[in-house]
Amino acid sequence: MSQVFPKSANYWSKASIISLIFLLLFVGWLVITLQRSDLVTSANQFIEQPVQFSHQHHAGGIGIECRYCHTSVEVSPSAGIPPTKTCINCHSQIWNQSPYLEPVRASFRDDRPLNWIRVHDLPDFVYFNHSIHVNKGVGCETCHGRVDRMPLMFQAKSLQMEWCLDCHRDPSRYVRPLDQITTMGYVPAEPQRELGPRLVSEYKIADVTALTSCSVCHR
């Protein structure tokens, strides 16, 4: 009885199966890579604002501390967007005729808030509380990056769940003294492997089981 398929069919069938496996692995790698890319996470992307406020100038250049503008960061889930009158505290005296700041003056004059665009915009199903993190020794720089070097504000971290869990699984690697919370370019005075566990105990930070419970962030 003659063969239905040529002998080479064995080779091509095996080659096809192996190629399909490699194709599926490549597609899986591509999906994971794209999921973590800036295109999906919105990291490292500048956002057009009604006034292009420079953290590099205000925080880095003239040394305005984070809490001067973000007044509720220690007591509220939200760090707070400063009202226009906070800007006018200084800009009624300096750069008070600059055309660049006319939207700020108009906002104050008309009692109409500036429509700032949120840079760090978490999904609605994620609960994040600034005050808890700040009061447990997590510095502004840890999540927001070196804002004192940002002429225009951008999201410095992915803000994905695996990034959050990296800290929640071992907060001792990231916590710092409370008087250093707003310090940019923070360098611990002693090795973090010694300082971190001590601060975790001092701040009464919950254990890893509690910190990685789904209900901590998804309520």
Q: What is the pTM of this model?
A: 0.82
Sequence-distant (≥ 6) Cβ neighbours of residue 174 within 8 angstroms:
137, 138, 139, 142, 167, 196
Residue 186 forms part of a structural domain? yes
Residue 48 forms part of a structural domain? no
Residue 197 forms part of a structural domain? yes
The pLDDT value recorded for residue 15 is 83
Contact predicate 160/36, CB 8 Å: yes
Residue 145 forms part of a structural domain? yes
Q: Which residues of the chain, if any, have pLDDT below 70?
A: 1-5
Count of CB atoms situated within 10 Å of the CB of 164: 20
Residue 188 belongs to domain spanning: 55-81+116-217
The pLDDT tens digits for 166-186 are 999 999 999 999 999 999 999
